[in-house]
Structure 1
Amino acid sequence: MDYQNTQEFALALDEQDTLNKFSEEFLTPQHNGKDIIYLCGNSLGLQPKVAKQYLQDQLNAWEDNAVESWFVGKTSWLNYHEQLTGPLAAIVGAKNTEVSVMNSLTVNLHLLMVSFYKPNNNRFKIIMEAGAFPSDQYAVESQVKFHGLDPADAVIEVAPRPGEATLRTEDIIQAIAKNGDELALVLFSGINYYTGQFFDIAAITRAAHEAGAYAGFDLAHAAGNVPMQLHTWGVDFACWCSYKYMNSGPGGISGIFVHEKHFNDDKLDRFAGWWGYRHDKRFLMAPGFEPEAGAQGWNVSTSPILLMALHKAALDLFEKAGGLPVMRAKSEQLTGYLEFLIEKINAQKGSELFKIITPKDYAARGCQLSVICKTNAKAIFNFLAENGVIGDWREPDVIRMSPVPLYNSFKQVFDAATALSIAAGKFCF
């Protein structure tokens, strides 16, 4: 698209945007009596207006029926989670039976590593990206130690080349091949939280399998953001949170994916719980764990209905909007426009004051742009916040900005860039 650095152009794009009215489906914080420009969906999505009603419906069920709500009502709690698997399967590119909803992200990562990280004397190493989100680093380190291994020997981190901010796929593939004989697991993010790089999940999975290892992914920043085809790509397992691009509330419930090729593998260990027991025999309370077929066999604890209600409210909006492909088309334009405007600021100031470290290739990124501020970075970030533009700060000098297609407009992107330009005039010398 041939972008233009004018408010009129931004407004014209909004007029053509079929999703433009969806911002009315969300509650936006106020600044000086006006909606803030919220570019922080990479950290916490906005609240859907219908969330209160979905939550109230389940509170009413609790009030009216108490424990009987597990079995009666329009949406009995016993099978409530099954309303979520179809929409989630569409979002991550899976079969319904390959998806389940439970716990929180890092808990699910641990539970899945119980099944898919099975080190032995020959294969014990894990490959992951350097600079993965700390929670993933802590989980992997503790899992390795749990098996009596030294993380210094067992964990291999693939880093960008000197002078580069993001990873090259060929370097990831090479690292996998180099360590193939000792490799037990390749565990990557779908999108790196810091740089916004969308990794080539299909290529990484193929390389892992060629090396004889499992391939798993933390999709915290990818789920609800970029299209994926986990089943077709042959990914072994994945997990994600729901409170970023899926707008399901702070600490919202997590989801998991397990490829159907593993459903009947009785060699996979798992930490079992009553909610993962086969549905048709669950209330017999018999000893000896028999898992439910599919990903639901990895469930452990009783469904947290109130969290699931919030998640359902958000997922219903995804379907109302036409699904991820429709949202992705706008997302690429929004992020592209923000990138264009930042480059215009640099050109006007005669210097690269703001360096975008997120890949330029649309296929290698989602909503997020990570921007290095060359001077007075924190002052610039604070100026934006003080003027109603909410991004996300990452030490030492990066501002993450994520225009989300469901509730951000091209006019908002233009106004955010205008504020950034003013900040550059104030703080960049």
Structure 2
Amino acid sequence: MTKSPLSPQTGIPAQEDGGATILEIGQQPEAWREVAGSTDAEAAAFLREIGARPNLRVILTGAGSSAFAGDIAAPALRRHLNRRVEAVPTTDIVASPLDFLERHTPTLLVSFGRSGNSPESVATTELADELVEDVWHLILTCDRNGRLGRAHSGRANSLVVYMPERTNDTGFAMTSSLTSMLLSCLLMLGPAEPGDVDALARAAQSVIELQPDIRTLAQSKKRRIVYLGSGALEGLAQESALKLLELTAGEVVTYFDSPLGFRHGPKSVLDFDTVVVVYVSTDPYTRRYDLDIIAEIRAQLGQDAVTVITTEPIPAELGPAVVLPGLAGLDDALVALPYLVFAQYLALFTSLAYAKAPDNPFPSGEVSRVVKGVTIYPMTVGR
């Protein structure tokens, strides 16, 4: 593969060659190894003490991509912790806090935030402090100067964990920041072991080597792209759809769903200008439904209409698939990490196919990297 020419001033590829975004996608295998190598005994003790409470509730929260990290992680954490674990966006909590925060339920609020500067990030933790009697905060963030990290630094009921500096993405879309925060959460609270990370990194590297094929798919310039996944992989499908929508500045229609849910009306979106990406589960039972939808859509629109991402080969009669090695048997929340690298490249190369600037697809500022213009109102009614 030919390397992109670098700007002599910044060392960053030109926008037509992927900008900072292509570098930030490609750095993920090493960033994950760095995350896995930064375990902290003090952090483990903090979480162990909180986790000993039998009635503890865990809320995973963030906005946009950071919210989808919670959707991906929640099923695995629910099984691993045997606790009530829910993914609730900060945007929902801020708009309607009494619907989601329970005064008498001890709560660990896990906040994902690349910069921690989104207006809802700090507001959500403040509402939790105000409305929940016993609350603790785990802050996962990439920016040491961000508001969220600074607001919780040194607090007895808070643990702030910073990702490697390189993951504080400068591109518009969250890439290495998202996967590093997700991995950190799964290592600290979930089923991930440090030994799993090398397998995940090798699988991601295999995706990196697929860039020419992913670019070819993107250059087909299909007008609709649908992402399907079950359980944790439905959260991945939602993040994949957002990534492509963001980086094409809305020029490509995107949609996400579960394979079963897709049949109940949303399948109407399919036409011959559509590509469907199916993320296949590692769970043998769930996998059956993924394979059914692959067969159904390929029978309707042809083999090229479906791109299959899986950890093990699918039956030959179902057609081709992208098989990521060394991941069979891992939880879907973990395989979502290298699956995400595929989604990020597809979004990036589709952005380039439509002549967008991936580091800034909205040059007029209609959508900003960190949300602005949100007024946070005091909680004064309904209490």
Larger Rg: 1
Compute the TM-score of the two structures, normalised by the length of structure 1. 0.32
Identify the structure with bigger relative contact order (alpha carbons < 8 Å, sequence gap 6+). 1
